[in-house]
Structure 1
Amino acid sequence: MNFKDLTNKTLIADKDLDWEDLGSGVKRKIMAYDDNLMLVKVAFEKGAIGAIHHHPHLQMSYVAKGSFEVSMGDDKKILNEGDVFFAPSNVFHGVVCLEAGLLIDIFNPHREDFL
């Protein structure tokens, strides 16, 4: 299934979607999106880095598995399974994976650059 097939889908099976290898121990899977909202799974190997970056989108990320050192603006905190971080528009943020993990990222609006 390609990304365009996901637009406005309401019932999505994980097994029907492929991982996109981003290199350096990081891969992602776009699960669903429409113009306003996008949900993405991002898997990290231990030691993998989600580089410091910013974007105009609102982002919430749920730590589904593992442990991450999260940088948000000038703050840093270790977050573990069950924790959440919120990245407001244009705030620099990034992660370092301390224990192999999985983030569930939600964006508003959807990330056109991921498609």
Structure 2
Amino acid sequence: MFIKNDQVKEVVCGEGIRRKVLAYNQEMMMCEITFSKGAVGEMHSHPHTQTTYVLDGVFEFTIGEEKSVVYKGDSLLMPAGVPHGTVALEDGVLLDVFSPMREDFL
């Protein structure tokens, strides 16, 4: 029920990208993703609905055919099956929530 961030294992999931899987159950999962400036979250899609909150930094996101620069405090919605990706324009941290959970992250 209580997940202590300093006790969560961090996984390198790309050059300049690190992920921590935080609280989750079968219905949803929360992850903290840390990006170094210039790191690229490649375009991809998955069967999960995803929301993202920008905890820190500046990112250029592409969702489907739309592109936008987002800043600390902004949030995004990636519908299931829609291609999306990002580039970190400066060091930053994202909070991703998936529904249902991402079994491939465990």
- Aligned match of 1:51 in 27, 39, 42? 42
SS at match of 1:46: coil
Cα-to-partner distance string for 1:5-56 (whole Å, 9 max, x where unaligned): xxxxx11111111211123100000001100000000000000000000011
- Aligned match of 1:112 in 92, 103, 106? 103
Structure 1: state its 5+ residue gaps.
1-9
Identity of aligned residues (%): 42
| TM-score of the superposed pair, with normalisation by structure 1 | 0.90
Structure 1 runs of 4+ off > 2 angstroms? none
| TM-score of the superposed pair, with normalisation by structure 2 | 0.98
Q: Specify the alignment match of 1:91 in structure 2.
A: 82
1:35 partner amino acid: Q
| Structure of larger gyration radius | 1
Count of residue pairs brought into register by the alignment? 106
1:67 aligns with 2:58: yes
In structure 1, C-alpha distance between the alignment counterparts of 2:102 and 2:10, rounded to whole Å: 17
- Aligned match of 2:27 in 4, 11, 36? 36
Q: Specify the alignment match of 1:102 in structure 2.
A: 93
In structure 2, C-alpha distance between the alignment counterparts of 1:19 and 1:34, rounded to whole Å: 19
RMSD: 0.6
